[in-house]
Structure 1
Amino acid sequence: MGDALDRAFRAALTDRWPAAVLVSRAVLESEAPGHLAGDPAAPMAPVGFDPPAPRPRRQALSRAAEVLNGGRRVAIVVGQTGARAPGQVVEAAGLLGAGIAKTPLARDVLPDDLPCVAGVAGPLGSTVVAALLRDCDTLLLAGVADLDPGPARRTGPRRVVTIDTEAPAPRDGAVSAEVEVTADVAAALDELIPLLRRKRERGWRKEVERAVEDWRAEGRAKAKRFFGAAVSPRAVVAELSERLPERSVVITDAGSAMDWWTRHLELRTGMRATLSHGLAAPGASVPYAGAARLAFPDRPVIALVGDGAIQASGLNELVIVRGHLDRFAEHPPLVFCVLNNRDHSRLTWQRRTDYRDPLVAPSQDVPDVPYAEYARLLGLAGARCDRPGAVGDAWTDVLGGKGPVVVEFVVDGETPPDWAEEAQRGHPAARSVPRLPRSRLRRLIGTVGGGLFGPR
């Protein structure tokens, strides 16, 4: 049994992936020996086991350097397996005059205050990254296994170099590489950097940095806008970003929460962030936050979750959190931020942009649940904010406390994410205001000053 567990730990640490141990009923029902010994021929994995990493081939490195040195507009995308090489990625980008993008799962590999970091790469990610990948003539993928091919498509020629511990598996529409370096990302970059030449022409790098600066300024300006008495979801995440304690862990759910996490969260050095690996598992942020609390008991943990996602499974997970209240109560805050817009927001905006259809209330409405009250019913702390001017104070209060807390922000479901705005600019017919069903209009008006219509 000891040998099986040891092999499982080695496999999990080497592949950075879950490993399962299947134990038969006969073993479970047998008496345990006084001493569990593994196979003496297989040494036990020590604490802090560092899995072996393949070394890069010199020929592949020389070819990669030739391609990268020949590029005039170089872009670098760093992925999850590049997490151990942040310094090398920044150094390579400096030599090549490159802009840097991060995949969603590598959100915390580099801080967002670096001028050359353009944001998250993905179909619904940063518009600067989309332009970076579209206009570059040379692309370095460092530890990238989750790059969506959509934003990376380019009409003209482009040379691509990949560095990863495993050769990329063939996928439909995936970016094809001219040079593949199969090795540990940090080790490969350590040997590749001396082969790179510093580019004298820095115009491309300056363009990228200027675009990043403008994009971030635009995001901060958008976060300050609100309409009527409705709280902007952009403001919720922007105000959090300004107040994030050092070494915080910020987790996002699928859906519109990810849009605001991508656009308005600015991570600093030492902060961590993650999301569901499949990017489409609603409710995952609540158990992920609980796991983060167990893994990092000394760090503040914040989960961003939409009302549709938390109703999928998160409400049940809060019951489990309540069961561990005594264990969590004296730790830094464990915050579950619920964006309550009473709507399947991501699906709604995709429908509007893809088909230029108005919202269809029966299929998109989400039941209006009082999440803060539900938390208090369970015995957890709960807070609710429905006024634009109170968002900052609400964050200050919950981040200054201890233990688990549910903070509910009643936000405007009519705030489009950036990708929906871009799609509307590209489709003249989509620029018109969608027709709202009467029940939807009644509900919106009813949120202002007590409303004009009563329940029907």
Structure 2
Amino acid sequence: MNVADALIRILAAHNVERVFGIPGDAINDVTDAIRRQDEISFIGVRHEEAGAFAASATAKLTGRLAVCVGTAGPGAIHLLNGLYDAKLDHAPVLAITGQVARGFIGTQAHQEVDLKALFADVAVYNETITTPDQAPEVLLRACHAAIAHRGVAHVSIPTDVAGQSVEFDVCRPLGPARPGRMAPHADDCAEAARMIAAAGKVAILAGIGCAGARDELIAFAEAAEAPIVRSLRAKEVIDDDHPICIGGLGLLGGHPGVKAMDRCDLLVMVGTDFPYLDFYPKAAKVIQIDIEPTHIGRRAPVDLGLVGEAGSILTALTEALDTPRDGGFLRDMQADMTRWRTSRDKAEADSATPIRPPHLMRAISEAAPDNAIFLADTGTATAWTARHLRVRPGQRYTLSGGLATMAFAFSGAIGAQLAFPDRRVIAVCGDGAFAMLMGDYVTAVKYGLPIVTVVLNNAKLGFIQLELEAKGLPDWGTDLTNPDFAAVAAACGGWGRTVSAPDEIGPALQEALAQDGPALLDVIVDPGALIMPPKIGLSQAMNFGLAKVREVFGS
């Protein structure tokens, strides 16, 4: 057994099913070790960044360790964006990189990069294997670190080490074991229950940390008579059509969520690290529930922190709330949400030409099967899915939450479709984001992945335009010259269709979902469609007007 064989054996013990990457001279022994066994497959991508995104999406959706590889120098560098996506969304990913031979490290050899320095910030564990005997322990620790810390681990293997023999008999896999149900002190739970009972207007801010605790979250909200405001990543936990959910928060949220945060006198944060401080209440008391101790008090001053698993804490609090509460605040917020839903539904019913993005999102929601997995890209696609895509119970929704990088959705869909071959994966992309890594469309074709990709084609970097105008700057530099995306899909060996009229959307979606391989819809959408923030300050309004004047007069 050589070092590369030991690596593959360790990965198999950790239930890794595939490795994403591109072969290269510094990792040839690694890819050869994969070739010589049948437990783990190699998914060859066209860009290492796409491989890292695929691994990140796999880890986010499964909670299990995912793996990507890159050769020395440029291959390793290309992994970084996808790895930062995994880091900031707390996804367990192991990156294996090749390195020049040990005798050339530090000599400015061809393709030599200081990989330990390069990966120092992104990784919770970051080592170079310098001797074969060291390899099994380093690789095991890397897997353990990625799983335990829900982050990125990196191991660099010089090209003259990977093929050397090593004795390796004992494998100590970690996970995907069930996490312990860590709970706070009983006195703290009792104090939280007293605070909730004493408050008149309780609101809940729920994040992705509530994943797996949907029922407990709803039961607690009902007992506390508290509306649930969700983060964007928690859209797959509870979406806007549930009667106790009053929508999202932040620039991509809605007015009801902002109003609840402004008016509550007690905020209960559950599994969220929501970073936008302007949306937190200014005078309310705050209880924060999080499994990560360092998150307590990081975003807002906290009156009581409860460290532990969301489901068990919410259950304990629900059981402690045995006195009926006045539900007036909840009813007021639900009435506000009903008005917001009416406005949303009206926007979605607008079947004008060019196609309005809300109308498209409603059509996708209606066409998607009950087991669909949605991946949203960064940009206006994020905003339209946040407000208008319906995520039903049993469906999944993910995106690049912390990093908010473009190009995640389609590459991530490759990982999602491989991890869940019996589910339909739908990537919703902007034209700018899709074009960044559209070369990997051939990867989906190669492996026969029936991903449905919906490209919102407005020939603009639309979200950048909005950001410019919000600052009072003219729209400049955001125009795109796009190819015929449907023709690109067909040229790659997939199925593609251009959609330019509202009455074409439904039939095109049905046809795309019926394909056995990758299908792409190039949807020509209204470039002037506005994404209005839930609240607009006077300075924002003035800046927007100023920007429009400057665009007209070219100044």
Question: Which of the five TM-score ranges fits, normalised by the shorter chain?
Answer: 0.7 to 0.9
Relative distance call for 1:210 and 1:412 in structure 2 (3 A) is same
Q: Which residue of 2 aligns with 1:143?
A: 271
Task: Describe how 1:33-48 pairs up with structure 2 within 5 A.
Answer: 33=167, 36-38=169-171, 44-45=173-174, 48=176
Secondary structure, aligned partner of 1:20: strand
CA offsets per residue over residues 236-284 of structure 1, 9 Å max, x none? 1111112221111011011000010001011111000000133421111
Report the alpha carbon displacement of residue 69 of structure 1 after superposing the two structures with TM.
Answer: 1.6
Aligned partners of 2:296 and 2:305 also within 8 Å: no
CA distance in 1, matches of 2:351, 2:544: 21
Task: Describe how 1:123-202 pairs up with structure 2 within 5 A.
Answer: 123-152=251-280, 154-155=281-282, 157-169=283-295, 174-202=299-327
Secondary structure, aligned partner of 1:403: coil
Report the alpha carbon displacement of residue 197 of structure 1 after superposing the two structures with TM.
Answer: 3.8
Report the alpha carbon displacement of residue 375 of structure 1 after superposing the two structures with TM.
Answer: 0.7
Q: Which residue of 2 aligns with 1:223?
A: 348
Out of 19, 35, 39, the position equivalent to 2:153 is 19
CA offsets per residue over residues 360-387 of structure 1, 9 Å max, x none? 3xx1101122111111111111011011
Report the alpha carbon displacement of residue 190 of structure 1 after superposing the two structures with TM.
Answer: 2.3
TM-score (norm 2): 0.70
Q: Which residue of 1 aligns with 2:453?
A: 336
CA distance in 2, matches of 1:124, 1:96: 26
Out of 514, 527, 535, the position equivalent to 1:400 is 514
Are 1:301 and 2:417 matched, yes or no?
A: no
- AA paired with 1:415? A
Q: Which residue of 1 aligns with 2:399?
A: 275
Gaps of 5+ in 1: 441-456
Relative distance call for 1:9 and 1:81 in structure 2 (3 A) is farther
Q: Which residue of 1 aligns with 2:35?
A: none
- AA paired with 2:153? A
Secondary structure, aligned partner of 2:153: coil
Aligned partners of 1:253 and 1:276 also within 8 Å: yes
Report the alpha carbon displacement of residue 210 of structure 1 after superposing the two structures with TM.
Answer: 1.7
Bigger mean CA deviation after superposition, 390-399 or 132-141: 390-399
Q: Which residue of 1 aligns with 2:215?
A: 87
- AA paired with 1:207? D
Are 1:359 and 2:475 matched, yes or no?
A: yes
Report the alpha carbon displacement of residue 226 of structure 1 after superposing the two structures with TM.
Answer: 5.2
Q: Which residue of 1 aligns with 2:40?
A: none
Secondary structure, aligned partner of 1:52: coil
Bigger mean CA deviation after superposition, 187-196 or 405-414: 187-196
CA distance in 2, matches of 1:129, 1:119: 6
Q: Which residue of 2 aligns with 1:314?
A: 437
Are 1:213 and 2:329 matched, yes or no?
A: no
Q: Which residue of 2 aligns with 1:448?
A: none
Q: Which residue of 1 aligns with 2:466?
A: 349
TM-score (norm 1): 0.84
Out of 363, 379, 384, the position equivalent to 1:239 is 363
Q: Which residue of 1 aligns with 2:32?
A: none
Secondary structure, aligned partner of 2:471: helix
- AA paired with 2:504? A
Relative distance call for 1:182 and 1:71 in structure 2 (3 A) is same
Task: Describe how 1:106-117 pairs up with structure 2 within 5 A.
Answer: 106-117=234-245
Secondary structure, aligned partner of 1:390: helix
Bigger mean CA deviation after superposition, 77-86 or 257-266: 77-86
Report the alpha carbon displacement of residue 421 of structure 1 after superposing the two structures with TM.
Answer: 8.6
Q: Which residue of 2 aligns with 1:453?
A: none
Report the alpha carbon displacement of residue 121 of structure 1 after superposing the two structures with TM.
Answer: 2.3
Out of 151, 156, 162, the position equivalent to 1:28 is 162
CA offsets per residue over residues 47-86 of structure 1, 9 Å max, x none? x511334332112212211222221111111212221211
Aligned partners of 1:85 and 1:185 also within 8 Å: yes
Secondary structure, aligned partner of 1:162: strand
CA distance in 1, matches of 2:308, 2:199: 23
Q: Which residue of 2 aligns with 1:73?
A: 201
CA distance in 1, matches of 2:315, 2:355: 47
Report the alpha carbon displacement of residue 25 of structure 1 after superposing the two structures with TM.
Answer: 4.8
Report the alpha carbon displacement of residue 359 of structure 1 after superposing the two structures with TM.
Answer: 2.6
- AA paired with 2:169? L
